[in-house]
Amino acid sequence: MAGMAIGIYKLLKSRSLDGLKLEELQLMEIKLNKKIDELNEEIKEIEKAIERLFEKARGAKTKSEEISLANRIKTLNQKKEMKQSAVIQLEKELRAVSNLLILKENEKDLKEAGVWNKLKKLEPEKIEKWLSSKTLERRDRQALINDIVSLTSTAMKSIDYDEDLEEILDIIKEVKKGEMDIKEASKKIKEKE
């Protein structure tokens, strides 16, 4: 995942805006969309696995078995959180690539307006930050130029492991007593995030 996304900063540092090819940016956009979709599918599978473990915990006979299942749920939940974090990062990169693509598609107009040369002089870090934070749209030339002129002129929280485990064990108890169904238990885990 990290190897797949080159990063706009590195791309701009290694080449100028003029050196970027439209086709290359389109390919990056496709790859990023595909990776985001794959990660979202993996997240759904993890959520289903968590539900299955809660179902299994409902029939647990010993405290040891409950703790084991709670640990597995905790591990899966952490894995899911890491994947969600990766999706957020990839979505930022996708936004930057999409915006860069729009800039390249409007390169001629931007050059005519005298903005392109100002963009080329900006530091790659500043361009990357701006591209990641903005949502440029394919819209009229003047609005796009105004957005670009404004540029040229101007996570995860740490969670206590034992506390999480204790919360999951409490949820398992509620499931076993029939006070909560599996879907509710799974949702309650999601709410903690």
pLDDT digits (tens, 9 = 90+) for 130-184: 777 766 665 555 565 566 656 555 523 333 345 777 888 888 888 888 998 888 8
Look up the pTM and report it.
0.69
Nearest residue to 80 (alpha-carbon basis) of 160, 6, 3, 156: 156
Selected residue with higher pLDDT from 112 and 87 = 87
**Average of pLDDT values for 4-24?**
70
Which tens digits make up the pLDDT trace of 62-89? Answer: 999 999 999 999 999 999 999 999 999 9
Nearest residue to 17 (alpha-carbon basis) of 105, 147, 86, 94: 105
For residues 103 and 138, what is the distance between their CA atoms, to the nearest angstrom? 10
- Domain residue ranges of the chain, discontinuous segments joined by +: 8-12+20-106+170-192
Q: Among 7-16, 50-59, 90-99, which is the least confidently predicted range?
A: 7-16
